[in-house]
């Protein structure tokens, strides 16, 4: 979920590497598969290596001729590390990271329909299965998903006499009341370099626009609708000092989330993991669908991270059998439960919806099918995302020009598309 980076994941402070089984590329009695996976935990107590350790132990009992080496890296490092492995000609058999499209375009990945069983491929949620396609052929398998809602601190709202907002005018009115009660961040607006492509996309959707046009085939970053959205943010929130003491362009998402957990934020856009973390810290969290300019936003942001299989070492059959096991309901639900993420398969999603113990996640589940994801199947997206993260904070700065900044990002998008052809 880069997102969280990209997706919805929590950044680990340090890289954690662990070999869960085996130590080479070929076991004496069969095959050793190498998997590089992202760490969704924030401490050693909840690191993803524990999830993979349990899963691998069970699988190796079922398949004594196959060993699985898993290296778990922080989200801060995993995409770069995998890219460097591939560049050195040392691609792992599988990688569970934030993006797959560049590797697919370069012919380095197995197509999913040549890899896993038909029931496994057919069980991926349709929106996510389609998002894993390049030129209508699936290469990316979704692994963990999330959607976004607007979170608010119920205690701060009660103290300020504010109401949960249903549109931007109501959001501004609530932020004014929170500011009057000396709330440090009436609305936390993280447009710093960490994850601002996500925050930006949520606001663009709320304004009726987005990164892509209505056909999904071309970028529309500097559209009049998007310019109006960023101008509203600049004038109505940032300009009225309703976003707190840190300039949005200097505020990273994790800083905003940490402030929310400390009880210093009235409102922000968040994902399920943050909700649980805040409530464990004693913050009573309210949640509503993302507000838009004149009512509910046309869609919320959906985020998925990706599993992929590299061709370099062969092992197609063994990889496919292991991934069939990884995507069984039991394992998908175990991972989703552990990290408060949404299941990526139909059967696991249905099981979670039917379980009263997951009532808090139902609003996020209900949004997923109609959510809008990043254009991850476009090889240009990585460069466009970097341009957003680098530049978007300037659009809402006191001396910023929203139109000029969006035009600059749009030029970067066109250049990225041209080089990807």
Domains of the chain: 31-145+303-369 (3.40.190.10), 149-299 (3.40.190.10)
Q: What is the DSSP letter of 113?
A: G
Which pLDDT tens digit goes with each residue over 111-131? 999 999 999 999 999 999 999
Q: Token pair 């898993």 is at which residue?
A: 70
Question: In this structure, what token pair is assigned to residue 345?
Answer: 């398969």
Q: How many residues does the chain have?
A: 421
Q: Helix, strand or coil for residue 98?
A: coil
CB 142 within 8 A of CB 125: yes
pLDDT of residue 44: 81
Instruction: Say how far apart CA 398 and CA 237 lie, in whole Å.
Output: 11
pLDDT of residue 188: 98
pLDDT of residue 231: 98
Looking at the DSSP bridge assignments, the partners of residue 270 are 149
Neighbours of 214 (CB within 10 A): 9
Question: For residue 401, what are the CA distances in angstroms to 172, 268, 407?
Answer: 21, 24, 10
Looking at the DSSP bridge assignments, the partners of residue 66 are 31
- 398 dihedral zone (left: phi>0; alpha: psi -120 to 50; beta): alpha
- DSSP characters over 180-242: HTT-SEEE----STTTHHHHHHHHHHHTT--SB-TTSSSB-TT-HHHHHHHHHIIIIIITTT-
| Mean per-residue pLDDT of the chain | 90
Q: Are strands 31-39 and 66-74 parallel, antiparallel or unpaired?
A: parallel
CA distance between the termini of the chain: 27
Q: What is the DSSP letter of 73?
A: E
Looking at the DSSP bridge assignments, the partners of residue 269 are 150
Residues of the chain with pLDDT under 50: 1-28
pLDDT of residue 81: 94
pLDDT of residue 29: 56
Sign of dihedral through CA atoms 127, 133, 135, 137?
negative
Say whether pTM exceeds 0.85.
Answer: no
Neighbours of 124 (CB within 10 A): 23
Q: Are strands 301-309 and 372-373 parallel, antiparallel or unpaired?
A: parallel
pLDDT of residue 360: 86
Which pLDDT tens digit goes with each residue over 255-305? 999 999 999 999 999 998 899 889 999 999 999 999 999 999 999 999 999
């Amino acid at each position: 979920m880069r997102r969280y980076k990209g997706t919805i994941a929590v950044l680990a402070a340090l890289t954690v590497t662990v070999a869960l089984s085996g130590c080479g590329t070929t076991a004496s009695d069969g095959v050793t598969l190498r998997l590089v996976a992202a760490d969704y935990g924030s401490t050693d107590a909840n690191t993803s290596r524990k999830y993979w350790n349990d899963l691998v132990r069970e699988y190796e009992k079922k398949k004594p001729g196959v060993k699985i080496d898993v290296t778990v890296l922080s989200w801060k490092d995993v995409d770069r590390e995998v890219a460097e492995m591939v560049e050195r000609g040392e691609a792992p058999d599988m990688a569970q990271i934030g993006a797959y499209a560049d590797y697919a375009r370069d012919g380095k990945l197995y197509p999913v329909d040549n890899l896993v069983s038909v029931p496994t491929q057919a069980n991926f949620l349709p929106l996510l299965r389609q998002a894993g396609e390049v030129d209508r052929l699936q290469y990316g398998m979704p692994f963990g998903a999330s959607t976004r809602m607007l979170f608010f601190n119920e205690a701060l709202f009660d103290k300020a006499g504010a109401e949960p907002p249903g549109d931007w005018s109501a959001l501004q009115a609530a932020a004014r009341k929170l500011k009057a009660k000396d709330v440090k961040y009436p609305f936390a607006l993280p447009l710093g370099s960490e994850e601002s492509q996500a925050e930006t996309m949520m606001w663009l959707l709320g304004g009726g626009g987005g990164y892509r046009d209505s056909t999904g085939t071309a970028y529309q970053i500097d559209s009049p609708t998007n310019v109006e959205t960023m101008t509203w943010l600049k004038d109505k929130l940032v300009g009225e000092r309703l976003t707190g003491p840190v300039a949005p362009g200097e505020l990273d998402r994790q800083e905003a989330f940490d402030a929310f957990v400390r009880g210093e934020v009235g409102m922000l856009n968040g994902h399920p993991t943050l909700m649980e973390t805040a409530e464990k810290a004693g913050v009573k969290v309210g949640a509503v669908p993302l507000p838009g300019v004149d009512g509910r936003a046309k869609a919320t942001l959906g985020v998925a991270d990706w599993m992929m299989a590299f061709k370099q070492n062969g092992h197609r059959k063994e990889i496919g059998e292991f991934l069939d096991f990884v995507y069984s309901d039991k394992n998908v639900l175990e991972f989703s439960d552990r990290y408060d993420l949404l299941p990526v398969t139909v059967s696991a999603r249905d099981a979670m919806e039917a379980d009263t113990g997951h009532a808090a996640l139902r609003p996020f589940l209900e949004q997923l099918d109609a959510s809008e994801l990043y254009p991850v199947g476009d090889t240009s997206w990585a460069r466009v995302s970097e341009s957003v993260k680098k530049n978007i904070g300037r659009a809402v700065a006191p001396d910023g020009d929203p139109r000029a900044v969006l035009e600059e990002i749009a030029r970067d998008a066109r250049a990225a598309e041209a080089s990807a052809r």
